[in-house]
């Protein structure tokens, strides 16, 4: 499963394919004012990507890889928010009809952002898993292409283009900290980085309330979490990682750590205060892992933390912070 689709030439081709549509996002040295960040740490700001997250890379790569007839018929996707926003953005840009399924728990801000791209929006269920099942049934019934948020080689390869960009940004890169939801980002990036430079250390970060990759790695295969996800990082909350993403993580990721919601809330506040970056909980899971000490960068000279998404309503950041203080 992991040998044929995920070669470096496939990632390079995807990077060229999506280049006209995505941004080369900036790097930001972590502030040194309070000595609360590891020495030499840099932040890769994918929260400044088109549509607010790395997800647009996989969305464009998938849509651009479809046959013209499939593009004309349209696509279906399901999302906790960011993937839906990315597919909606890519579909509008390419003139492809799209229907996006969201759970009822999707934030009003994300729903409004998706609406602005003029796609059909359907609310179903209370979790991504339920929205995914309904969207998949819709695609199969109508013969439409389904744009999976993580477990599709085209999606994984699109997300992995970020690693090629990172190697250009920082040739001495020796450690990367990456958030895990369904695993598409870490799987694609790890495949690129380890094939390019095997000595690079890759650390994955999951919410404690949705540690689906950690659970599967312990079991030795991709297995659904026995309990529903419970975390404020809703875009990191599928109950099961994909078969592709699990296999790549098992092969290439060095370690997976977990952070709690309170640590992510404090990290959101820190990133806003110190770096003027307003992001969602998923986007700061990596910062939470560094500040809480669960992600060990000992010996790393040129480490990077990927800020994967920024689609948060401003008010929610301060509401979450006040809740955390009171608790």
Amino acid 315: pLDDT: 60
70 within a domain of the structure (yes/no): yes
pTM above 0.85, yes or no: yes
Residues 43 and 85 in one domain: no
Residues 138 and 163 in one domain: no
Instruction: Report whether 114 contacts 100 (CB < 8 A).
Output: yes
pLDDT digits (tens, 9 = 90+) for 228-253: 889 988 888 888 999 999 999 999 99
2 within a domain of the structure (yes/no): no
Binned at pLDDT 50, 70 and 90, residue 129 comes out as: confident
Residues 273 and 182 in one domain: yes
Amino acid 267: pLDDT: 94
Mean pLDDT, range 163-191, rounded to an integer: 97
Residues 208 and 293 in one domain: yes
Mean pLDDT, range 281-292, rounded to an integer: 95
- Mean of the per-residue pLDDT values for the chain? 91
3-state helix, strand, coil in the chain (%, to 5): 50, 15, 35
Amino acid 1: pLDDT: 45
Instruction: Report whether 290 contacts 41 (CB < 8 A).
Output: yes
Binned at pLDDT 50, 70 and 90, residue 294 comes out as: very high
How many domains, in total, are found in the chain? 2
Hey, which of 128-132, 166-170, 323-327 has the most confident mean pLDDT? Answer: 166-170
What does residue 203 show for φ and ψ, rounded to 5 degrees?
Answer: -115, 125
Residues 114 and 260 in one domain: no
Which of 147, 177, 193 is at the close of a domain?
Answer: 147
Which of 113, 147, 181 is at the close of a domain?
Answer: 147
Q: Has residue 317 got a pLDDT over 60?
A: no
Residues 43 and 63 in one domain: no
1 within a domain of the structure (yes/no): no
Residues 257 and 177 in one domain: yes
Instruction: Report whether 103 contacts 125 (CB < 8 A).
Output: yes
Residues 119 and 34 in one domain: no
Residues 70 and 195 in one domain: no
Instruction: Report whether 253 contacts 228 (CB < 8 A).
Output: no
Task: State the residue range of the domain holding 122.
Answer: 56-147
What does residue 243 show for φ and ψ, rounded to 5 degrees?
Answer: -65, -45
Amino acid 2: pLDDT: 40
pLDDT top residue among 180 and 326:
180
Mean pLDDT, range 18-35, rounded to an integer: 88
Which of 93, 122, 147 is at the close of a domain?
Answer: 147
Amino acid 34: pLDDT: 59
Binned at pLDDT 50, 70 and 90, residue 210 comes out as: very high
Residues 241 and 206 in one domain: yes
Tokens 């790890």, located at residue? 190
Hey, which of 17-26, 120-129, 303-312 has the most confident mean pLDDT? Answer: 17-26
Q: Which residues, including other chains, have CB under 8 Å from residue 309's CB and lie 6 or more apart?
A: 46, 47, 52, 53, 54, 55, 82, 235, 279, 280, 282, 283
Q: What CATH number corresponds to the domain at position 60?
A: 3.40.50.1100
């Amino acid at each position: 499963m992991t040998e044929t689709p995920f070669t470096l030439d496939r990632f390079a081709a995807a990077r060229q394919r999506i280049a006209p549509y995505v941004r080369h996002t900036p790097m930001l040295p972590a502030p040194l004012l309070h000595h609360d960040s590891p020495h030499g740490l840099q932040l890769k700001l994918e929260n400044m990507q088109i549509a607010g997250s790395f997800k647009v890379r996989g969305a464009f790569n998938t849509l651009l890889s479809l046959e013209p007839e499939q593009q004309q018929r349209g696509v279906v996707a399901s999302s906790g928010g960011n993937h839906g926003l990315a597919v909606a953005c890519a579909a509008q840009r390419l003139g492809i009809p799209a229907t996006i399924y969201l759970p009822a728990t999707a934030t009003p801000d994300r729903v409004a952002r998706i609406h602005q791209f003029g796609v059909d929006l359907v609310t179903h269920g209370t979790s991504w898993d339920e929205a995914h099942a309904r969207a998949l049934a819709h695609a199969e019934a109508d013969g439409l292409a389904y744009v999976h948020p993580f477990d599709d080689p085209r999606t994984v390869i699109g997300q992995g283009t970020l690693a090629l960009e990172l190697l250009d940004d920082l040739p001495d890169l020796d450690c990367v900290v990456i958030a895990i939801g369904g695993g598409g980002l870490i799987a694609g990036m790890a495949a690129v980085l380890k094939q390019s430079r095997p000595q690079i250390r890759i650390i994955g970060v999951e919410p404690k309330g949705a540690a689906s990759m950690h659970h599967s790695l312990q079991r030795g295969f991709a297995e659904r979490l026995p309990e529903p996800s419970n975390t404020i990082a809703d875009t990191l909350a599928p109950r099961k990682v994909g078969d592709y993403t699990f296999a790549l993580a098992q092969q290439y990721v060095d370690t997976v750590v977990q952070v709690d919601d309170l640590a992510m809330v404090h990290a959101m506040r820190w990133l806003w205060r110190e770096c003027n970056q307003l992001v969602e909980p998923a986007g700061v899971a990596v910062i939470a892992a560094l500040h809480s000490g669960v992600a060990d960068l000992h010996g790393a000279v040129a480490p990077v933390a990927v800020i994967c998404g920024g689609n948060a309503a401003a008010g929610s950041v301060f509401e979450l912070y006040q809740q955390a203080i009171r608790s």
